[in-house]
Every structure is written in C-alpha cells, then in structure tokens.
Structure 1
Amino acid sequence: MKLDHLDVFKTEIQSSLENNSFVKLSLGNYKGEIDALKNIYVKPIFIKRQPHLSFTYRYKTRDIVKNFSIIDGERVIASALEDGFQIATLTTTAEEFQFEIFKSGKSVLRKRLLNEVRPVENSHNRKKQYKISNSAANYLQELGLTDANGTVYSNAQDKFKQINRYVELLAPLINELKIEHSFNVVDMGAGKGYLTFALYDYLVNSLKKQAFVKGIEFRQDLVDICNSIALHSGFQNLSFEQGTIQDYQGPTDILIALHACDTATDDAIAKGILGNAQLIIVAPCCHKQIRREIENNKVVNDISFLTKHGIFLERQAEMVTDGLRAMYLEYAGYKTKVFEFISDAHTPKNVMIVGVKKNEESERLKQERQTKILASIQDAKRYFGITEHHLGGLLGAK
C-alpha cells in the first residue's frame, strides 16, 4: 500500500474540516474483522453550538450513530482508514476525493472538481423544508399565524410546525390512492380549521388536485369564521358546515377525524366505512367506553397483574380499543396502519389509525375473511371482558 496516497487523503480531510468545506465522508468495501460492518458515513453537525462529526456505522441489520468532537472524529477516521476499509470518498464544497486500495495492495487517489459548489449542511444551519409555504398563504395570516409579510409569529411556531407535520403524514397516504378524478375530503371536528386549510392548500395548490374539502364543526361561530377565511383566500372548493359526525350525509372519498373523543372516533370510522371512503384517518382521543367495560367485568387473565393498577388499565384500554378498531376496519375491507402521531410540542403522543380501502374481492373470499376476523374480534372481547364495542355495534359486527 502506498502510504503517501493515504497521507494525502488524510491531509485533505483535515484541511476540509479546518476551512469548513467538509460536506461528507463515506467509507466502504470493508475487509476488516468487525462482524457484519459494511460502511461508515460521516457528516458535520452542531451539538450545543459546537461543531462535531456524526458517524453512522452501517451493519447488515442495523445502523449505529455515534457523535465525536472534531479532534476525536479525525482520530476515528484515521483508524478506520487503516483498519479494513478499501474505498473512501471525501466530498467537500468544491471537490471530491476518492481513495482506493486494490487487491494487489496498491492504492490510488482520484480527485475531481464538482460542477457546482455544494453547501455544508448540518443540524445547525439546515433549513427545514415545509410542505406548506408561509410566504403567500393569506389564510395563515387570517388565522393569526403569520404577519402581512408571511413571517410566522414567534408564538405560532409550534402551530405552524404542527400543520406541516400533519400534511407530511397525510401526503403519502393520499398519493397512494392514485385518484385521477376529483374527490371529496371530509374533516370531522374541524375546530378552528388550521389543519383543514393546510390540507386544502397542499392538495389544490401544491399537488394540483381537484379536491373538494369540507370541514364539519359543531360550533357555529367557528364555522362562520372559517367560511369567511376560505372566501377571502379564494379557496372555492373549501367549505365548513355546522353539524355532528352523525349528521353528515355527503359524499366521502377521504374521511379525517383527529382527536374525536371516546366513541365519536367510532362514529367517524363507521361514517367512512358506510360511505365507502377510500381512505379513513383517525387519531383517537380518550377511550372511556372500553375502559368501563374492562373495569365492570374484571375478567381474570394473564395480564390481571397489570390491569389491577389504574394507570396500566388506562393504557391497556387504549390499546384494546384501538386494536379492535383496526380489526373492524379490516373486517370492512380496509388495509390498516397504526403508528404514532405527535400533533405538536405541547400535545401528548397519539395513535393514528389509517384504513385504506382494498380492491374488490369475490363474495366467497369476503365471507371467509370476515368470518376469520370476526372470530378474532370475539376472542379478544372475551379475553378482556368486553360485551360491546361501539364501532362493532354501528357496523352490525358484534
């Protein structure tokens, strides 16, 4: 091995770190003794306003991330280069260097100029790319989130991040549907409309979809305010309607219900299923009905040692309620996803349940599927002492 090539490569790394032109470093073709290690990726970051290097160690089945100071990071890089990695690529803001060791033991160092200068990105200076732009959104100003110039108020930063996170979650789910024609979105319990406006803005102005979005809200004053803002913003196909989940009778391709309390979430899911919605998205709030069932019946089972404690019983009731909701969706012909949803920095973690309507199936396959799932539902209810789940009653699937 020609150590002069390696020495020059190390010098380039050191220089790029000193003059702040270091963009990234990748080490590959590992032939060392660490089991299952494949690559190491290095990038600059800031921790407590101090520059550091973040190392991602990629193994066959997992990644491990370690952060080092610049000095310690240089030592780790030097050690790795001398201990099994046959290829290393350094990218700076203007150049790329590739060091390679061949089977013969000989080495080479290649250098090329980049076509354009690359910025150094790290957690300190990377700008967050939002789905919703605040620069030209009149509704954000009228909702009190931005000033006339589109600058987000300091006390509205969390809310702005919240609505963007919401759209980020929904965007891939909606895109998976591959809806070519116009479609109807219903937001049950729209409240002040922050999320409803943001979703409409994204669908119509970013994705260029022909979407009709309706927010259902019980409080008439909020309905009036939101309709006024929609009018001023030129959102022709966005409207708000006073009423409840049970009252709504319009067309529904996508149904959304966030933080509908207790059995109101069941009402929303049933409304979507019975309305043949292609996509159902709910983030349940409180689970009183099933907790009362478990408390009243006190079935003795393998987890009784947990449910005798109130806080564990509450958490168990949440999981059982939402687990059964997912099964009822599958019974109705939906593919389900359940994942964590954090609406903002001041709101506890929620579960988001998503149901995507599956393709049509034969009547025989449908009956077989429903019989199997219903048996699982009944087994679960017996195990926890549940005589009734509100959603099952609405669907006639007890």
Structure 2
Amino acid sequence: MKPDDALELRPGQSTELLKELHILTREGRINQDSRRKLKQVYHLYQFIEKLLLELPAAPDRPTLADHGAGKSYLGFILYDLFFRPRGCGHIYGVETRSELVERSRALAARLGFERMSFLNLSAAAAADETALPDTIDVVTALHACDTATDDAIAFGLRKKARFMVLVPCCQAELAACLRQNKALSLSRTPLAELWRHPLHTRELGSQITNVLRCLYLEASGYQVTVTELVGWEHSLKNELILARWTGQRRHSAAQRLRALLAEFGLESLEARRYPGLP
C-alpha cells in the first residue's frame, strides 16, 4: 500500500471490510472515487462518534438505525470502528432494495459482525417493525432520497431518538407543490419570483424543505445544528443536520413553520409531513 493510501485508514480498521466494500482494491490501494467516498463517510463518522460517546454505557447500547442504508458503507464502518472494539450495541440497516439487504447480510455474516441487522423496509414502515426495539439512540439517514428523510425523522420521533444525523438528498416533494401553485403565487406576492424559473424552483424547494425540517425538529424537542458534511468538491449533497434531544419543545418554531407554509402556499403539507406540531 502506498504511504498516502495508508494515511486514509484508521488504526485497527478492517482492510478486508474495505476491500469487500470496494473502497480498497485487492492490492490494498484506494482510487480517487473511493477516496472521496471514504472521506465523506469518515467525516460523518467523526460527528456520530462524538454523539455515541455521550450515551450511557450498557450491554445492549448504543442502538443505531441507518435509513436508506444502500450498501451500508456507513453502518459497516461505524460497526468496525466503534461497535466492534467495544463489544456492545447494535446497528440496524433499513433499505428498500432487497438485493442490497441480502448482500449486506452476507457480508456481515462473513466478517463476524454479529450485532448488525438488515431490514428490507422503507423508513416509513420501519416505525412499526417488531424486529426493531421500541427506542433507538441514534437515527442516521445519509442521502435518503426526497421524503425518505422526512420518514426517517418521523421514525426518530416515534422511537424517541436521542440524536438524529441527516444528510438530505433530492428534495422534490415541496418543489412540486411550488410548481403546482406558481401562477397563483406570482399574482399574490413578488416573493414568487424566487421560484418562477424551474432551476430556482428546484433549489428553493430544497432549501425550504430543510428549513422546515429543522423547525419541525425544534418544535418536537430537539436542538438543531446545520453544517457542511465535506467540502463542495466532494459532494453537492452536502448539508448535514444534527438534532439532539433536549425535551424543550419550541412553540416559536412551530409558529414559524406554519407561517412559512402559509407564505409559500404549502399548508397541505402540514398534516402529511409535520403531524406532531404542537
């Protein structure tokens, strides 16, 4: 392995796992695409590790549910670097594509990662799944597409999650609502110029979606921090939302959320996306 490749890996990290995930080649090298992917996962791991260390020690803790798990890069690296050396806790990967679920199950069995489970479910269906515990310490959703991030938030609220770590992706639902009401909005307010052009509709829809999600989390008792995951040269889907349970429900956040829905003609979304508003 080249010296600069070696710098990418953490002490004690399983090179066998990284080869299975095609982050390392069979010769133990890292190509440029894999380097970007690994850097992104490592950045997210650093955020999540700090949260996991805050949780009280217990034989069956911490628990983490990863929504839109895909090939479970994040779940496997979290297990390898944090859960495996500590000998406790459990990771649940939630993914709708059955072939990826089967592949992850086989890989976990091959590597002896016994405290990993993979469920062929949507984030929306996972809240009622008996294979998952009643409470989950940490909920993650890395690039869960469109409303799957909202479903992951709803899951976290249902499971009384201590922390949620979200990197939203492909926020299309709200942009579609803006397009539907565009003519009325243009006659009603000059603000509609912000989404008159299709490109702006998509960008503004994405921005408003995440702002509403943050307000909903604050109204539901979470302290919210929004930051960058990695530099823009690595990923355009770069917004990281960190939510920490405090129990302090902010009524002002609920009021502002409703005011934004009214301002942009999006009141129909409240019952579907923000049912827990006080």
Compute the displacement of 1:233 (Å). 1.4
The answer for the alignment partner of 1:340 in structure 2 is 228
The answer for the alignment partner of 1:235 in structure 2 is 113
The answer for the alignment partner of 2:153 in structure 1 is 269
Q: Distance in 1 between matches of 2:272 and 2:219?
A: 10
1:297-347 CA distance string (max 9 Å, x none): 333435333322222222211111110100100111011111222499563
- Alignment of 1:162 onto 2:44: no
1:45-67 CA distance string (max 9 Å, x none): xxxxxxxxxxxxxxxxxxxxxxx
Change (3 A) 1:345 1:305: closer
Match of 1:256 among 128, 133, 140: 140
Compute the displacement of 1:215 (Å). 0.7
Compute the displacement of 1:194 (Å). 1.4
Q: Distance in 2 between matches of 1:349 and 1:222?
A: 22
Same amino acid, percent of matched pairs? 27
Change (3 A) 1:135 1:254: closer
The CA RMSD measured in Å over matched residues stands at 2.9
Normalising by structure 1, we get a TM-score of 0.59
Q: Distance in 1 between matches of 2:90 and 2:176?
A: 39
Contact 2:140 2:164 in 1 (8 A): yes
1:134-178 CA distance string (max 9 Å, x none): 864321122223256644356633333332223123223333x33
Q: Tell me, what secondary structure is at the counterpart of 2:213?
A: helix
1:110-134 CA distance string (max 9 Å, x none): xxxxxxxxxxxxxxx9998557458
* Structural mapping, 1:156-195, within 5 Å: 156-175=34-53, 177-181=54-58, 182-195=61-74
Contact 1:287 1:321 in 2 (8 A): yes
The residue identity in structure 2 corresponding to 1:234 is: G
How many matched pairs?
264
Match of 1:223 among 95, 101, 106: 101
Normalising by structure 2, we get a TM-score of 0.82
Contact 2:220 2:277 in 1 (8 A): no
Change (3 A) 1:388 1:174: farther
Change (3 A) 1:379 1:155: closer
Match of 2:165 among 277, 281, 300: 281
The answer for the alignment partner of 1:397 in structure 2 is 277
Contact 2:169 2:237 in 1 (8 A): no
Q: Distance in 1 between matches of 2:197 and 2:270?
A: 25
Higher helix share: 2
Q: Tell me, what secondary structure is at the counterpart of 1:385?
A: coil
- Alignment of 1:386 onto 2:266: yes
The residue identity in structure 1 corresponding to 2:95 is: E
The answer for the alignment partner of 1:140 in structure 2 is 18
List runs of 5+ in structure 1 lacking aligned partners: 1-124
The answer for the alignment partner of 1:3 in structure 2 is none
List runs of 5+ in structure 2 lacking aligned partners: none
Change (3 A) 1:203 1:135: closer
